[in-house]
């Protein structure tokens, strides 16, 4: 065989391998578990985070059967553990030790004033710690890493809201890109933080940010005015959403100094919420009919409707996944949606059920 034929054969083999690898990634299917509803008297469950071993946190309604009066839960080994902290609690993230962070809404002054505090809940001790604030009335904790460092945002005494890092019992102001508002939304094991910040004091225009050490970097946009970061992986790659030139919002993946447009499922808008070490992104996107949002998985350059990847599982009958909010490094996904049996609330358009998706074969 001459050299040209050998090269054509090698090129064909490389191309075929790439096609097969892409097809395999798209063909990954999932088994789906509807985790049900905690016995709190309500019917609404909203998952918000998943850890490295597949434990889930979120919140569920109480007997009011609405989104008010919420109680945080940890779902581990098939059982719910509730968290009560003197008010409605909303969990946003969970670490490998099953510690949970979020927000608790409290009432003071004989019920005339409501304020919020970020909290961390220790699953081991069953205790809850309020994180305090940066001087203002309110704070929220959105993410925790496996060494217990927390990020979120807090009101300031003089006005404005700043991102913070909470470590060793101390809350530290992370500042802004020049505006009056910033928020930390995700944190990795290297203490890199993703979020967003406004650019000037008198504007609400915000850009996605990546904080490494004491440096806050502006990640820019996909050609539009605004962007926001919501997820980060171990390598410091960030996902979120950005305005595009047409004025709609698209999910993005920021890596190696570049922001990539992940597209949509045929509709106008999409939003990225979490990214794992394989740069797999999950979130939600409008579908081609423009009136529905479906959960998506972005992997190896392709955005796929997660509903198509659970269709072969008998447990998926009657299930519609509307948003995927977390993915761990094993590829396990926590998503929200509706089901024709269990957790379906009539006349409420928001997701009512929480699901765990496990890659087939695990």
Share of the chain above pLDDT 90, in %: 70
pLDDT of residue 136: 95
pLDDT digits (tens, 9 = 90+) for 181-238: 999 999 999 999 999 999 999 899 999 999 999 999 999 999 999 999 999 999 999 9
What size, in residues, is the chain? Answer: 362
Residue 4 forms part of a structural domain: no
For residues 351 and 321, which has the higher predicted lDDT (pLDDT)?
321
pLDDT of residue 3: 42
The span from the CA of 26 to the CA of 316, in Å, is 18
Residue 162 forms part of a structural domain: yes
Residue 3 forms part of a structural domain: no
Q: Which residues contact 185 (CB under 8 A, 6 or more apart)?
A: 142, 143, 151, 193, 194, 195, 196, 228, 229, 230, 231, 240
Do the strands 135-144 and 238-244 form a parallel or antiparallel pair, or are they unpaired? unpaired
Residue 331 forms part of a structural domain: yes
Residue 53 forms part of a structural domain: yes
Residue 203 forms part of a structural domain: yes
Residue 22 forms part of a structural domain: no
CATH code of residue 174: 2.120.10.30
| Token pair recorded at residue 289 | 């009919």
Span of 96-105, 147-156, 316-325, 348-357 with lowest mean pLDDT: 348-357
pLDDT band at 114 (very low <50, low <70, confident <90, very high): confident
- For the chain, the three-class secondary structure string (H helix, E strand, C coil) is CCHHHHHHHHHHHHHHHHHHHHHHHHHCCEEEEECCCCCCEEEEEEEEEECCCCCEEEEEEECCCCCCCEEEEEEECCEEEEECCCCEEEEEEECCCCCEEEEEEEEECCCCEEEEEEEEEECCCCEEEECCCEEEEEEEEEEECCCCCEEEEEEECCCCEEEEEEECCEEEECCCCCCCEEEEEEECCCCCEEEEEECCCCCCCEEEEEEECCEEEECCCEEEEEEEEEEECCCCCEEEEEEECCCCEEEEEEECCEEEECCCEEEEEEEEEEECCCCCEEEEEEECCCCCEEEEEEECCEEEEHHHHCCCCHHHCCEEEEEEEEECCCCCEEEEEEECCCCCCCCCCCCCEEEEEEECCC
How many domains does the chain divide into? 1
pTM (two decimals): 0.89
Residue 169 forms part of a structural domain: yes
**Which residue segment(s) compose the domain that 256 sits in?**
31-359
pLDDT digits (tens, 9 = 90+) for 42-96: 557 899 999 999 999 999 876 554 445 678 899 999 998 888 666 788 999 999 9
């Amino acid at each position: 065989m001459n050299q040209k034929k050998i090269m054509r054969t090698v090129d064909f083999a490389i191309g075929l391998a790439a096609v097969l690898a892409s097809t395999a990634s798209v063909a990954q299917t999932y088994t789906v578990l509807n985790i049900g509803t905690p016995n709190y008297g309500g019917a609404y469950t909203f998952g918000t985070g998943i850890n490295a071993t597949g434990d889930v946190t979120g919140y569920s309604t109480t007997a009011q059967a609405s989104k008010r009066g919420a109680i945080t839960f940890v779902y581990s080994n098939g059982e719910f553990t509730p968290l009560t902290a003197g008010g409605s609690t909303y969990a946003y993230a969970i670490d490998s030790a099953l510690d949970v962070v979020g927000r608790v809404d409290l009432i003071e002054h004989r019920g005339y004033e409501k304020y919020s505090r970020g909290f961390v809940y220790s699953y081991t001790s069953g205790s809850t710690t309020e994180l305090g604030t940066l001087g203002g009335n309110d704070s929220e904790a959105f993410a925790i890493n496996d060494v217990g460092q927390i990020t979120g945002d807090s009101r300031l005494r003089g006005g404005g809201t700043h991102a913070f890092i909470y470590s060793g019992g101390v809350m530290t102001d992370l500042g802004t890109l020049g505006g009056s508002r910033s928020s930390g939304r995700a944190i990795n094991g290297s203490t890199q933080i993703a979020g967003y910040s406004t650019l000037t004091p008198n504007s609400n225009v915000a850009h996605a940010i990546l904080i490494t050490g004491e440096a806050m970097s502006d990640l820019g946009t996909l050609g539009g005015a605004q962007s926001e970061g919501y997820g980060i992986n171990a390598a410091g790659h960030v996902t979120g959403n950005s305005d595009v030139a047409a004025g709609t919002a698209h999910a993005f993946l920021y890596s190696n100094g570049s922001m990539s447009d992940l597209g949509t499922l045929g509709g106008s808008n999409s939003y990225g919420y979490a990214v794992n070490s394989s740069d797999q992104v999950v979130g939600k996107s409008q579908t081609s009919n423009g009136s529905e949002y479906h959960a998506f998985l972005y992997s190896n350059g392709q955005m796929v409707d997660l509903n198509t990847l659970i269709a072969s599982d008998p447990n998926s009958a009657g299930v519609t996944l509307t948003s995927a909010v977390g993915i761990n490094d094993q590829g396990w996904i926590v998503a929200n949606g509706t089901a024709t049996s269990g957790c379906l609330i009539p006349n409420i358009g928001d997701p009512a059920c929480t699901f765990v998706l496990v890659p087939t074969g695990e």
